[in-house]
Amino acid sequence: MAVCVFDVDPARAAALAKELGESAAYVGGDVANDADVSGAIGAAQSMGPLSLLVNVAGGGVGGGRTVGRDGSSHGRAAFTTTLEMNAVATFNACRLVAAAMAENIPDDEGQRGVMVNTASIAGYEGQIGQLSYAAGKAAILGMTLPMARDLAPLGIRVCAIAPGIVGTPAMERVSGQVKEHLLKGMVFPKRMGKPEEFALLVEQVASNPYLNGENIRLDGGLRFAPK
């Protein structure tokens, strides 16, 4: 299987592609930019049919309460920027890739492609100060079923994964005290998730033709407390 890595940081994309081996290529660009996404689609199609999209772009800026302790209201720009980084960026990649997948020859199940988006359990139970991030991730969860229904005639499945606390490089850098607080509500296993466990779920969604229109939690039983 060939893989095209698409990242806003070309150096990071190149490093990952090198790690994956000769069957991987990379493209630098912004998932919110139509021309950049089209370039990534073209690069992927040059290696074979584009049959799987995994959207992991996201993030947040300027978190805070709707009204802060000092009486100031939540910044509008921070809210809209965070929605752009999560919901709009995910939608943009999906709409353009779906059009490309529609050109694929269907398999024996009539399937032309699979799209896996990344939400968060914050989209279900956002914490205090997570308003914009929770809204962005909730929007991704809300896209899943209508997008799956929209794309059913084309044979394209859509699912979303809602991770809990995953040991990404950014999360590994937080203090031990913060980690301990975040993991307090974990049921089992009492640790952060592993990136490999996220990848395993992506693989299952991609390989199981009866998974469609589903938002799947990957959180070790964690439910976020209010703070």
The percent of the chain in helix, strand and coil, each rounded to the nearest 5, is 45, 15, 40
Select from 177, 172, 214, 170 the least CA-distant residue to 192. 172
Three-class SS of residue 159? strand
Length of the chain: 227
The predicted model scores a pTM of 0.95
Is 26 a catalytic site residue? no
Select from 77, 65, 13 the least CA-distant residue to 44. 13
Q: Is 76 exposed, middle or buried (0-12, 13-18, 19+ CB in 10 A)?
A: exposed
Fold of 51-218: Rossmann fold (3.40.50)
Residue 173 confidence (pLDDT) = 85
pLDDT tens by residue, the chain, 227 residues: 899 999 999 999 999 999 999 999 999 999 999 999 999 999 999 999 999 999 999 988 878 899 999 999 999 999 999 999 999 999 999 999 999 999 999 999 999 999 999 999 999 999 999 999 999 999 999 999 999 999 999 999 999 999 999 998 888 888 888 888 888 889 999 999 999 999 999 999 999 999 999 999 999 999 999 98
Q: Within the chain, which residue ranges are assigned CATH 3.40.50.720?
A: 51-218
**How many angstroms separate the CA atoms of 207 and 201, rounded?**
10
* Alpha carbon of residue 19 to chain centroid: 21
**How many angstroms separate the CA atoms of 227 and 208, rounded?**
36
pLDDT tens per residue, range 52-93: 999 999 988 878 899 999 999 999 999 999 999 999 999 999
Contact 101, 51 (CB under 8 A): yes
